[in-house]
């Protein structure tokens, strides 16, 4: 649904967060937040004005003056409290997320929990933001480096993980001494705002965390703002490329995690039942709306005979509203997403792929208006087909055949994207060849969605990532800080002068 100019008077309104206060926007442009299972309007979200964006950044800039000097232990203790508050409100957060995004309640809890892990990691900042020291690098000379915060940073997050990805961003930026302006997805910002309320309750000072809402105009305002030093983005390749180019030209530090077409190689020696379970979960969980979802399975050799088994496994998954017990696949996030996914399924049939399982028009009693598409399986898919080339972002799995592992690796490396990949095998030699030769950021060996835990950095390659440093892990500490190197020498009255030194050497 597009933004409208209807005043937000009949339903709840989502607030802005500026200077530590949750305030009503003065905009005339609003968008409905819609429950994708029922089409019920849950709230209205504002598209912030330029003045409101400027006020959020100004608030962050002012707060930075004192926050950057706050003791690192004090910053860490705020996030210790924050992680406890998230745990205490896990059920509430998951319920909000399910209502506005459509995920099943267990998957929604997983969304929150994976973000919580980064909050826990942020609480250990005392061991992460360490510099280096070298004693006596020359006569009486010491050299050391410190990692200092940048200033006001910003984050732009997608609809598919409205809890996890904001928690990837602002905790690590803030705990390293920066202030932050967050722009959540306008499709499902309610759980993000509840997380921000809990962050304020945990003790984040006024102005350190700010939130604005909106679409392209707000994104551009963030990219162009002279006082924003760094931007983290997760979302589509089209928008991410725009953000990277525009913000980079404005002199900002930028990281963009973008589109994907994730392949999983299935070797004929793989454990069949475990592999089928893993593929079904990774392809159809969250209705396929994960940037790390497996959307292509490359069946090698005799594994090509597993197509009927995979179809039968997919048929066991239950489609329904995320609030219902036993549901495996919830609705797509919006009517537009539904139209796009069903349109690509039609295109796949037209292009000559074999529709082994058609998930369109599933029966979901009581939710006839929902954006439901069931598990869908295409066999005989070939590069060049729309369903292979495009990121469908729905519960659609494409099956491709390969004669051997070398052909499978070549196929994956030829794809423009390099977000995640996996191999299913019982051969250590095959697994090692795969991990060595594959050009993809996240690699799973008998693990279908290899998103790293927070001690390691989320990566990516080729069209899936722009910028050298990834979110969370050690890399993100470098992203949100500037290294300052100091070389020092102290003299006392007994020091013997060596006269004028006109060389660059230290003596």
> How do residues 190-208 score in pLDDT, each as one tens digit?
999 999 999 999 999 999 9
CA separation, residue 18 to residues 6, 187, 208, 359 (Å):
23, 21, 9, 44
Placement of tokens 């950021």 in the chain: 441
Which two tokens mark 129?
Answer: 């933001």
Which two tokens mark 304?
Answer: 């090509």
User: Annotated catalytic sites, by residue?
Assistant: 291
Q: Which residues contact 444 (CB under 8 A, 6 or more apart)?
A: 264, 420, 421, 422, 423, 450
CB 287 within 8 A of CB 321: no
CA separation, residue 296 to residues 168, 293, 383, 397, 435 (Å):
27, 9, 11, 6, 18
C-alpha 258 chain-centroid distance: 9
Helix runs in 89-177, H state only: 90-101, 105-122, 125-128, 164-175
CB 383 within 8 A of CB 227: no
CA distance 195 to 174: 14
Partners of 21 in the β-ladder = 18
pLDDT at position 6 is: 45
pLDDT at position 495 is: 67
Flag the least confident range among 145-149, 379-383, 484-488, 494-498: 494-498
Placement of tokens 């329904």 in the chain: 320
CA distance 13 to 10: 9
The SS3 of residue 387 is helix
pLDDT at position 462 is: 87
Neighbours of 416 (CB within 10 A): 11
pLDDT at position 507 is: 66
Which two tokens mark 463?
Answer: 């069209």
CA separation, residue 449 to residues 44, 53, 252, 419 (Å):
34, 36, 31, 11
CB 3 within 8 A of CB 47: yes
* In the chain, % of residues over pLDDT 70: 97
pLDDT digits (tens, 9 = 90+) for 104-131: 999 999 999 999 999 999 999 999 999 9
Which two tokens mark 388?
Answer: 């292979």
pLDDT digits (tens, 9 = 90+) for 387-437: 999 999 999 999 999 999 999 999 999 999 999 999 999 999 999 999 999
CB 472 within 8 A of CB 234: no
8-state DSSP, 504: S
Q: Where does the pLDDT of residue 497 fall: very low under 50, low under 70, confident under 90, or very high at 90 and above?
A: low
Partners of 265 in the β-ladder = 298, 423
Which stretches does DSSP call E strand in 38-111? 41-46
pLDDT at position 8 is: 44
The overall longest dimension of the chain from CA atoms, in Å, is: 90
In the predicted structure, residue 5 carries a pLDDT above the cut 80: no
Average pLDDT for 60-84 = 98
CA distance 301 to 428: 18
Partners of 156 in the β-ladder = 183, 233
CA distance 124 to 126: 5
What is the reported pTM?
A: 0.94
């Amino acid at each position: 649904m597009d933004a409208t100019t209807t005043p937000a008077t009949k339903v709840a309104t989502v607030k802005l967060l500026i200077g530590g206060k949750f305030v009503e926007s003065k905009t005339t442009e609003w968008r409905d937040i819609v429950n994708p299972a029922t089409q019920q309007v849950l709230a209205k979200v504002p598209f912030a004005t330029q003045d409101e964006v400027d006020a959020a950044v100004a608030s962050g800039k002012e707060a930075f003056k004192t926050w950057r000097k706050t003791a690192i232990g004090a910053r860490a203790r705020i996030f210790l409290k924050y992680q406890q508050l998230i745990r205490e409100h896990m059920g509430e957060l998951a319920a909000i997320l399910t209502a506005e995004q459509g995920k099943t309640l267990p998957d929604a809890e997983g969304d929150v929990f994976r973000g919580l892990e980064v909050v826990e990691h942020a609480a250990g900042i005392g061991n992460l933001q360490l510099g280096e020291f070298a004693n006596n690098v020359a006569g009486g000379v010491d050299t050391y480096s410190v990692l200092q915060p940048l200033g006001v940073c910003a984050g732009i997050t997608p609809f598919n993980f409205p809890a996890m990805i904001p928690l990837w961003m602002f905790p690590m930026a803030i705990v390293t001494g920066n202030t932050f302006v967050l722009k959540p997805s306008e499709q499902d910002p309610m759980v993000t705002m509840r997380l921000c309320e809990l962050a304020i309750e945990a003790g984040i000072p006024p102005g350190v965390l700010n939130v604005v809402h909106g679409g392209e105009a707000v994104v551009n305002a963030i990219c162009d703002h002279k006082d924003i030093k760094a931007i983290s983005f997760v979302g589509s390749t089209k928008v991410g490329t725009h953000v990277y180019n525009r913000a980079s030209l404005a002199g900002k530090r930028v990281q963009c995690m973008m589109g994907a077409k994730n392949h999983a190689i299935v070797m004929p020696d793989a454990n069949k039942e475990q592999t089928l379970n893993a593929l079904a979960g990774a392809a159809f969980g969250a209705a396929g709306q994960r940037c790390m979802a497996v959307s292509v399975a490359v069946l090698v050799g005799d594994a090509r005979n597993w197509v009927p088994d995979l179809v039968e496994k997919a048929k066991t998954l239950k489609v329904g509203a995320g609030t219902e017990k036993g549901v495996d696949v919830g609705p797509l996030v919006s009517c537009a997403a539904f139209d796009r996914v069903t349109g690509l399924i039609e295109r796949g049939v037209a292009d000559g792929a074999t529709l082994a399982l058609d998930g369109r028009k599933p029966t979901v009693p009581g939710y006839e208006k929902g954006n439901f598409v069931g598990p869908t399986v295409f066999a005989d898919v070939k590069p060049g087909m729309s369903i292979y080339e495009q990121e469908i972002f729905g519960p659609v799995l494409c099956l491709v055949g390969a004669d051997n592992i070398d052909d499978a690796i070549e196929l994956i490396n030829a794809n423009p994207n390099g977000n995640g990949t996996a191999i299913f095998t019982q051969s250590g030699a095959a697994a090692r060849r795969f991990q060595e030769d594959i050009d993809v950021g996240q690699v799973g060996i008998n693990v279908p969605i290899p998103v790293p835990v927070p001690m390691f950095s989320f990566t990516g390659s080729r069209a899936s990532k722009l910028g050298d440093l990834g979110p969370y892990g050690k890399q993100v500490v470098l992203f949100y800080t500037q290294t300052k190197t100091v070389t020092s020498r102290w003299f006392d009255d007994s020091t013997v002068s060596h006269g004028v030194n006109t060389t660059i050497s230290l003596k």
